[in-house]
Amino acid sequence: MTYRELAKQIFIKGKEKMDDMEVYIERNKQTKIGIFEGEIDTYTIAESEGLSLRGISGNKMGYAYTEKVDPSSID
């Protein structure tokens, strides 16, 4: 499932209970290489992703965040 499809599913489920909502999905990839005296000293390869939801129902606002970005995280 793409991020766009996941966000669409969140809006479909959320509109049953929320008056307004916002979804933010982010994915980061990072590579760091450290050189010391002309040689590779350290390296790091990292990936992270997250999904946040902010919603308004009546006069109340709620917020949720997860690092598990897949369909099971929206239930």
Phi-psi region of 15 (alpha: psi -120 to 50; beta: other; left: phi over 0): alpha
pTM above 0.85, yes or no: no
- pLDDT, averaged in runs of 10, over the chain (75 residues): 89 90 95 95 96 94 91 80
Instruction: State the total domains in the chain.
Output: 1
Q: Which residue has the tokens 């994915």?
A: 27
Give the domain range for residue 43.
3-74
Round to whole Å and give the CA distance between 61 and 53.
11
Q: Which amino acid is at 59?
A: N
Nearest in space to 5 (alpha carbons), one of 28, 29, 25:
25
